[in-house]
Structure 1
Amino acid sequence: MNPQTLRNTLPVTASDTDESLFRDIFYEGTLEEYLTALGAAGERVAGFLRNNVHPFSGIRPATLLASFKEVDFDTPLPDYDALLDEVQQLYIQHATAFHLPQYIAHLNCPVLIPALAAEVIISAINSSQDTYDQSAGGTFMERRLIDWTGEQIGYSQQCDGVFTAGGSQSNLMGLLLARDYYAVHHLHHNIKLYGCPPEAGRFRIFVSEKAHFSNHKNAGILGLGEKSIVSIPTDTRFRMDAVQLETAIRQELAQGNIPIAIVATAGTTDFGNIDPLQEIARIAREYSIWYHIDAAYGCGLLLTDKYRHLLHGAEQADSITIDYHKSFFQPISSSAFIVKDKLHLNLIKHHADYLNPPEQDYDALPAQINKSIIQSTRRFDALKLWCTLRLMGREKLGKYTEIIIETTQQAAVLIAADPEFDLLSDSDLGILVFRYHPAQTAIDLCALNQYIKQSLFFNGEIIVASTKVKGAFYLKFTILNPLTTLTHIREILAAIKVQGDNWLQQPGNIAV
């Protein structure tokens, strides 16, 4: 074949094609396009801040869903203005505004500007944290932040860990290590190679009745089933009862079952309280049980010298869940799983010749993928926390946690002093569970408080959460915003009463 004929048979390459085809790819030739797009998106975010005075638009799901039926993915929009107009209509104008004090529902925090600046860098450069050749400096930034967090917990230099997608994933890692550690060291069985041993049907995991639901889901994922979860009653402040924990362990042993893990909670989702970490650590040591702490919420106490004593005992845990995207005010997602002894992470290591071959010297050429269970390609979320700590420092971040705790303490006093509210418990952190209970006795308190929550939500002015305690419906404040003041709390409580009174005035809601 002559050269000319050969050239005619070759595929078209980028150099032979109209450059407009590649104008949307992020590379040196599209810098102006990138800056234009970034500026336009930034203006929409600025509008979100300027225009939102309420946390929600109040739009109903059916109304919003109808708008999506008109979207045609086969017909591209002409420019960024049209694109962002659509995003504005379908998303931004209805997005929940977590930064407003009137949002007082779930564990969603306002985010920090240094972390938002980091998001721009993370998204554009798009490093993957699995191997050094995909991340370089990012590998060591993540490792340094894991080491720093371990230092704050009270771990030695023997600790290690990895950033994860969230607390549920970190809790999964804690139970997985507990399961595999027991199998290897007590049964001489490698679950990674051979699957669960016959004894796995008798494995038992002890959690508080107020622990996060991820423990039950994770037990199922690990092949142990939800039957492996032993729920421990709580005390009057809804913390795990250590006496009943030890009783339950003895009962399971007497029945021939095998305790493999205790999961304590440092900051329950419903009450923001902390299990007795030191006493649980003693029990875990006495019975040689893996001790995991879910500190997804309570990890913010590591930032404050004033309240960090509430985490005493955490340094004795075998593993800990940390959610920076809660109490460290980071954008989603930014979490970590940390172990006291880095050698335990070998239980989950798996080698692939194309990624992390067994002959590689991982001290000289590190690979974070050796510590991760379900993420190969993994975003460089650690940069957000790096930028936050380097610009703000631990002390300033800790002040935010102190403000939140003290605002919650004042709010608890306010609610408890009002005869028209029932407050169930005070909080170590920032959660208050209560209900509106006016003087009328012949009313359905659950229906009343359900009405209050829903009407506030669809008015869009205030968003509160809810939970059930012993089958009864309660309202819930989650105070995770240092901008929230006692004045805001008073206004929200007044609005609750207004909606409650509206319900009372409706025919049939008060028995005659």
Structure 2
Amino acid sequence: MNKPPEERPASSAKSSAESTDSADGEDSSDSMPSEESLFLGSEKGAETYRTTMEQTTDAILDAFVENADPYSGTSPESLREEFAEMEMIPDSGEGLESALESAEPVLRNSVGVSDRQCLAHLHCPPMISGLAAEAMLSATNQSMDSWDQSPAATHLETRMVEELCDLFGYGDSGDGVFTSGGTQSNFMGLLLARERFAKERFGTNVQRSGLPHRAKAMRILCSEEAHFTAEQAAAHLGLGENAVVTVESNDDREMCPDALDQTLAELDERELLPFALVGTAGTTDFGSIDPLDELAERAEEHDLWFHVDAAYGGALALSDRHRDLLSGIDRADSLSVDFHKLFYQPISCGAFLLRDGSQYEHIARNASYLNPEGASVPNLVAKSAQTTRRFDALKPFLSFRALGRDGFGMLVDETIALAEEVAELLASGSSFELVAEPTINAVVFRYRPTSDMADERLSWLNEAIRESLLREGDAVVARTEVDGVTALKFTLLNPRTTLTDVADILDAIERRGSSLRAVSPEVKR
């Protein structure tokens, strides 16, 4: 038997570093830090980690508690200049403590998502349980593409998916995978829809042979209020954005079943081939929820894959009071749900769920070094559009364990109740126009001081008010367009936000609106 090679000598950089370490454990300024202090796995690494996490915690609390604001007000130009002067990849390191200090302008100029007056987007305040999970999953660095890279994580994600399938009414045949969010989940749903249709209609295995000849006739249907990811997915799937046909919505911004019937008839007359129907459970602007039961009936009648984008509204499944708004979601072939919205988890964290897990056969793939055929261990990589993938399931797992379904349901109910109160407040004010009654907790409105103000002037005024609030760091409010006219939006995800907080922002909007009209004669009327 050959003798093992002699232990290699330490690298010169490492030897130099270790020989110049100071007595108190600090590396000298003119040497590389020792490898022992760069990684977990040793006592020195553990001490460095503990000290670093304490310093990081202090910096975060200083930025987002002691000196908290919705935003610093720093302009894009100023930020560009500040970071342009900062060396990103220096020749020599400055040490970890100093490096952490260089992140101060990042923290100082980040949006305070936990601030009660940060109300713009579907951008939630993360639960502390989720932050704890982030530290755990980052430190363990499990990769979900093979069991031997994530043994416990694989089984925990599998169990989380099983319980999520139960939450949304899928039976024992349900399956799924964690994703980066709604964009990836919606893509997965339409990917499987395309694969199934091509195989059943044309006998084509797209994964191996590419798109069939008549792919140009394939169509995806969704409402005109649906998220842009339907068009994005169609483009990525080689069908083109023109493959998406939008269906007229009703006055509540929900897909109209009668309009869907008419659209399907027109597609048939033109010999086009609808293969997927996308329902939305929570549109981005209005939180509108399509009539899922009626859409499921149409999908069954026309043999369409029915995918529900519940990235926003999926959390209603936890609410005893509002769960019925999702009636019919259990009939969807697939659905997307985001945990970094109304489940209050750090970005990114989503899930894609399938009513019939056997549909994964359309995208099955094996690699000898990851998931060889016939392997007895669980295989998650073939269910995902990603290979290397984070252990994001740990975040909702810890949060559900801490709070339970009832606790989450209470938070969701509180934010919806607040949205209803805000809508009433806006409707009663003479200077505001409520654009639509909220369905979940998004409230769309305009500052309209006079009823006869022209649309162009109205758009300018509302946009100028929003920019002023952000520039002064007083509030983060969203903008959108409704019927071609700019509107403002409160997305009331934060359970800590109160009606008083919102009333204060409305007062600020009125003050700024009055000032802007005084200095800008063109928007006086």
TM-score, length-scaled by structure 1: 0.95
Aligned to 2:488: 475
- The equivalent position to 1:382 in structure 2, one of 393, 405, 417, is 393
Find out whether 1:300 has 2:311 as its counterpart.
no
Distance (Å, rounded) in 2 between the aligned partners of 1:105 and 1:442: 25
Deviation, structure 1 residue 276: 0.7
Match of 1:326 in 2: 341
Moved more, 476-485 or 15-24: 15-24
> 1:270 aligned to 282, 285, 290, which one?
285
2:518 touches 2:524 (CA, 8 Å); kept in 1?
A: no
Report if the CA contact (8 A) 2:165-2:171 is conserved.
yes
Matches within 5 A, 1:103-118: 103-118=118-133
Match of 2:94 among 78, 81, 86: 78
Instruction: Identify which of 403, 409, 413 aligns with 1:392.
Output: 403
Amino acid at match of 1:83: A
Which of 273, 279, 289 lines up with 1:258 in the alignment? 273
Residue type matched to 1:418 in 2?
A: G
Whole-angstrom CA distance in 2 between matches of 1:333 and 1:157: 27
Amino acid at match of 1:298: G
SS in 1 for 2:222: strand
Q: Distance in 1 between matches of 2:59 and 2:14?
A: 34
Give the match for residue 466 of structure 1: 479
Give the superposition deviation at 1:100.
1.0
2:423 is aligned, of 399, 412, 419, to 412
Match of 2:331 among 304, 309, 316: 316
Residues in 2 aligned to 1:26 and 1:484: alpha-carbon distance in whole angstroms: 39
Hey, what does 2:499 align to over in structure 1?
486
Query: Residues 427 and 440 of structure 1: is their aligned pair in 2 closer, same or farther, counting only changes over 3 Å?
Result: closer
Q: Is 1:371 aligned to residue 362 of structure 2?
A: no
Structure 2 unpaired stretches of 5+: 19-32
Residue in 2 that maps onto 1:453: 466
Q: Secondary structure at the match of 2:265?
A: helix
SS in 1 for 2:278: strand
Aligned residues: 501
Matched, 1:177 2:189: no
Contact persistence 1:105–1:464 (CA under 8 A): yes
- Give the Å deviation of 1:423: 1.1
**Aligned-partner Cα distance in 2 for 1:321–1:92:** 31
Per-residue deviation at 1:310? 0.5
**Partner in structure 1 of residue 40 of structure 2:** 26
1:213-232 pair list within 5 angstroms: 213-232=228-247
* Residue of structure 1 aligned with 2:209, choices 194, 218, 221: 194
Deviations 1:236-284 (A, max 9, x none): 1111111101110111111000011010100000101101111111111
Distance (whole Å) between structure 1 residues aligned to residue 81 and residue 493 of structure 2: 33
How far apart are 1:14 and its partner, in Å? 6.2
The Cα RMSD (Å) is 1.8
2:300 counterpart of 1:285? yes
Q: Which amino acid aligns with 2:98?
A: A
Code of the aligned partner of 1:398: G
Matched, 1:249 2:261: no
Structure 2 vs 1, CA of residues 76 and 440 (structure 1 numbering), >3 Å: closer, same or farther? farther
Q: Check conservation: 1:52, 1:97, Cα contact below 8 A.
A: no
SS of the equivalent of 1:82 reads: helix
How far the C-alpha of 1:360 sits from its partner, in A, is 1.8
Structure 1, gaps ≥5 residues long: none
Measured in 2, the distance between the counterparts of 1:450 and 1:16 equals 56
Q: Percent identity of the aligned residues?
A: 37
Q: Is the 8 A contact 2:517 2:524 kept in 1?
A: no
Matches of 2:453 and 2:63, distance apart in 1:
44
Q: Is the 8 A contact 2:247 2:263 kept in 1?
A: yes
Alignment of 1:102-141 (within 5 A): 102-141=117-156
TM-score between the two structures when normalised by the length of structure 2: 0.92
3-state SS of 2:340 partner:
helix
8 A contact 1:272–1:431 mirrored in 2: yes
The whole-number CA distance in structure 2 between the counterparts of 1:491 and 1:187 is: 60
Q: Which amino acid letter does the alignment assign opposite residue 435 of structure 1?
A: R
- Answer whether contact 1:408 1:432 (CA < 8 A) is retained: yes
Partner Cα separation in structure 1 for residue 205 and residue 225 of structure 2:
32
Paired residue secondary structure (2:219): strand
CA distance in 2, matches of 1:46, 1:76: 30
CA contact (8 A) 1:503 1:509 kept: no
| 1:509 has 2:522 as partner | yes
Cα shift at 1:62: 1.1
Q: Distance in 1 between matches of 2:330 and 2:523?
A: 53
CA 1:411/1:246 → structure 2, altered by over 3 Å: closer, same or farther?
A: same
- C-alpha distance in 2 between matches for 1:212 and 1:244: 19
